[in-house]
Each structure stands twice: as C-alpha cells, then as structure tokens.
Amino acid sequence: MKLTDEEKRMGEGNQGTVVMKFMKLLISIGEAFDAPRMLPTISVHVTSVSLATLMKGGKHIVEEITDSGSRLKAFTTINPLATDFTQWDELGIPEEEASEQLKIEDSLREIGAILCNTCTPYLVGHVPMFGQNIAWGEASAVIYANSVLGARTNPEGGPSGLASALTGRTPEYGLHLDLNRLGEFVVRVQTELKEPTEYGALAFFTGAAQKKLIPVLAGIPAMATCDDLKMFSASLHGQSSAKIFHAIGLTPEAKTEEQALGGRKPVDVINFGNKELEATLQTMTSYTKQDVSWVVVGCPHCSITEIREVVRVLNGRKVHSNVALWICTSRPVKTLADHMGFTEAIEKCGGRIVCDTCPILSTKRTLENLGFRSITTNSTVMAVTLPSILGINAHCGRLYQCIDAAVSGIWR
C-alpha cells in the first residue's frame, strides 16, 4: 500500500500512540484488501457506541482516546445508544446502565463526536455529497448513503469508524471502487408500492432471492420518498450482504438500466407483484397470538413526515391501557415534532416519543421489566431481527394496522 508521508508519520506515532494504533488498523485492513492507497475522508458515522455493543473493551478504547488528548479530524456522528437519557427509568433501563452509558456519551462529546444518537444521520444534517468517499457504520445508513446519496463507503465497524474519524482516512477498496458498485440482478416491481413497510417487504424479497448480489430495482415510482428508501435500505441488510442497490430513474448511479448494470447482462431477473408483496409481509409476522403489548414505529428512526403520519392515523384515538406505543426518532427530529405539536398529540393519546435509542439495543431485562410479550411494528427489519436478538416474536404490518392494534390491543 502506498502511503503519503503524513500517513506514514501517523503510523509511526508522530501524533501519539492512539492515532498510531488506529492508523495501523486502517493499514492492516487496506493491505488485507489490496487497497492501493488511503482516501481522505471528512465524513464518518460511528457505530457500536451503545453499552450493549461497546462492552468493556470498547469503553476502554473510547476512554483511551479521550485521555490521550487526540481529537476526531472528520465530521463524526454516532449511532443510537442504550437508552433515552430523559426517560431511561420509564423505558425499564437500570440506573447503573444509564449512568454508564452517559459516561460514554460524555467521552464521545469530548473527543468531538456530534451526539445525534441516530441510525439516520442523513436526516439530521449529515449529508455527504455524490461521489464523496466517507466511512460510515450502521448497515441501513451505509446502504442509504451508497445508494440514495451516491456517496461511497464500506460498512465500517466501531473501531475502523473511529480510526477514520481520528486520521481523516479510509482505505481505497470495496465500495469506493466503481466496479464494485455495479448492479448484478434486476427486480421488476409490478405493484404500486405505497408506504415504507411495503418497500421493506420488497427489500426482504430481493435480499432473500440473491443474498450476495447487488440489486437493480425497475419500476419504483418517481414519487418514492426518502422514508421508503430508508426502510428498503434497512431491510435489505437483514437478508443480503449487498451494501448498495440501484433504483432506475431514481438513484444517482442508475439513470438507465444499462448504467446501473455497467452494460453487463443481469445474472438474474425476478418479478415482484402484488402476490409476492402480500406473501412476503405475511411471513414477517412470527407472533401467532392476537394480543398486543408493545407497538413500535421508528426503525430506522422516524423522519418528521413519518411522525406526522402517526398523528394523522391516530386521529386522537387513545392507546389501549394494556399497550405501550413507542415512536422512535432522533432528538433533533423530536425537537421539530415538539414545535409542530406532534409530540403533544401523540402523548395525549397515550403514546411516547423515544429518542437516542432503539429497541434492538434493549436488553431482555428491559422487556421483562415492562412486561412486553411481543412486538408489533411497521418495520420489516425489526420484525425479522428482534426474534433472534431479544427472543420475542413480532406482528408486522402497515402503519394503520399497527396503530389500530395500539388502540384496540388486538392484532387483526
């Protein structure tokens, strides 16, 4: 790997032992993947910052950076944490875990991270430009950044993300290279998709059909929203190792099918019609009983548009006394929801807006403390992953179906 003088010096320790260790980490990764050089990067999204994924080892690393005096060079945002600091008690998080997580957040603030605590940094001002080389973690955000924004990133783990943030570099391999971004198979969408949940089902179907190949979607309406593609990005990850997709006529590297495929023939062409949509959605419900205890909207974190839609569908109806309704989002979006009166409208109905965290990062103890028996959600990705992570089963359906379940306490 060819390094600049500055990069060599960083690797030799001229900026301290912490920068040296992380530069070595990037060099090791680069050499293992035959990267010819490092790329400068100014945009990093760091994952694995919650207590659950950081563990003692990661906490030790973050503290080591803080104590060393080294500070992050790139603009750096962070993924959700283990709890919402304004209501950890109501969310069933033990005090010692909340205070431990608060200490980690303090360290991250001190080294220069922006504490948006969200899986959707692109909704709160972290928006890299087309073609820029970035270093993001969080699979759903990685897929969104590569596909929808046209920025270029490999899926970075916690340590490699911190390494890029500290050095302002990322090795040139994988999705930084044109050839590795081209579509490989085509999905012809033959039904009119109407909301994020349906896009999530399409992603699940797409990823299950070809688990390693890059999909090209044909027939996505020009009016698809960023919420739709946000859910598609998150749900593709659950099934496929592809970290980019293309939607012809919509995403920036797919003006035509030919461009999306780089002029090559697709390895496979599959169809997704109404029958496939309904069948896929049905497979996502793993909880066979009708009782509802926990309804969650906001995985990935809600945009302001999605929160407005919750208010519209709720329409003043009260949440059933045996049900908890959580709307998960980032704190900046909640601030806007407060200002718009959406927070008050949801709270008046008995729902709750939850920030900074995600049910996937809950511990089993949280569920036991709050007595949740299952999850009811419009998120296809949560419905598929929570059974294996938290050991509870899911109802998965469109937004109106989830909100109706929150009001009646019954899944229909």
Partner 1 sequence: MSEVILRGHPIIGGNVEGRAMVSNEPICWLLSVDLNGLVVEKGHSLEGKNIAGTILVFPTGKGSTAGSYKLYEMGLRGSAPKAIINVQADTVTISGAVLGNIPMIHRLEPDPIQAIREGDEVIVDGDKGVVRVIQR
Least distance (Å) between residue 79 CB and partner 1: 10
- Closest residue by Cα to residue 351 from 411, 399, 397, 294: 294
Instruction: Work out how close the CB of 60 gets to partner 1 at its nearest, in angstroms, rounded to a whole number.
Output: 7
CB-nearer residue toward partner 1: 25 or 386? 25
Site string for partner 1, 160-179 (x = CB under 8 A): x-------------------
Q: Give dist(CA 281, CA 199) in Å, integer.
A: 10
Cβ(92)–Cβ(367) below 8 Å: yes
Alpha helices in 69-150 (DSSP H): 95-111, 139-144
Q: Which of 150, 118, 135, 140 is nearest to 74 (CA)?
A: 135
Q: Looking at the DSSP assignment, which residues form a beta bridge with residue 43?
A: 75
Nearer CB in complex with partner 1: 174/249: 174
Of 28, 259, 271, 283, which one interacts with partner 1 (CB under 8 A)?
28
Tokens found for residue 121: 């940094």
Per this entry, what is the length of the chain? 412
Q: What is the DSSP letter of 37?
A: B
Q: Which stretch binds partner 1 (CB under 8 A): 107-115, 156-164, 199-207, 349-357?
A: 156-164
CB of residue 32 vs partner 1: minimum separation in angstroms? Answer: 4
Left, alpha or beta for 315 (phi > 0: left; psi -120 to 50: alpha)? left
Query: Considering beta carbons, is residue 65 or 310 the nearer one to partner 1?
Result: 65
What lies within 8 Å, CB to CB, of 360 at 6+ separation is 299, 382, 385, 386, 389, 390
> What is the distance between the alpha carbons of residues 117 and 83, in angstroms, rounded to a whole number?
10
Per CB under 8 A, 197 contacts partner 1: no
Residue 233 within binding range of partner 1, rule CB under 8 A: no
Q: Which of 3, 16, 24, 350 binds partner 1 (CB under 8 A)?
A: 24
Q: Does 236 help bind partner 1 (rule: CB under 8 A)?
A: no
Closest CA to 384 of 231, 260, 170, 259: 231
Question: Contact region for partner 1 (CB under 8 A) — 55-63, 176-184, 216-224, 327-335?
Answer: 55-63
Q: What is the closest distance, in whole angstroms, from the C-beta atom of residue 65 to partner 1 in the complex?
A: 12
- Binding to partner 1, residues 123-152 (CB under 8 A): 137, 139
Helix (H, G, I), strand (E, B) or coil at 132: coil
**DSSP assigned state of 145:** I
C-beta closer to partner 1: residue 55 or 127? 55
Instruction: Show the tokens assigned to 154.
Output: 């490999």
Q: Is 19 helix (H, G, I), strand (E, B) or coil?
A: helix
Q: What share of the chain is helix, strand, coil (3-state, %, to 5)?
A: 45, 15, 40
Check binding of 25 to partner 1 (CB under 8 A): yes
HSE-up of residue 41 (Cα within 13 Å, Cβ side) = 33
Amino acid letter for position 27: I
| Residue 359 within binding range of partner 1, rule CB under 8 A | no
Q: Does 55 bind partner 1 (CB under 8 A)?
A: yes
Rule CB under 8 A: choose which of 18, 21, 107, 203 binds partner 1. Answer: 21
Query: Does residue 159 bind partner 1 (CB under 8 A)?
Result: yes
Residues 56-115 contacting partner 1, CB under 8 A:
56-58, 60-61
Which among 29-37, 100-108, 225-233, 362-370 is the span making contact with partner 1, rule CB under 8 A? Answer: 29-37
Stretch that binds partner 1, among 24-32, 245-253, 362-370, 372-380 (CB under 8 A): 24-32
Task: Determine the size of the site formed for partner 1 (CB under 8 A).
Answer: 26
With CB under 8 A as the contact rule, which of the stretches 124-132, 153-161, 303-311, 397-405 interacts with partner 1?
153-161
Question: What residue ranges bind partner 1 (CB under 8 A)?
Answer: 21, 24-25, 28-29, 31-32, 47-48, 53-58, 60-61, 137, 139, 154-160
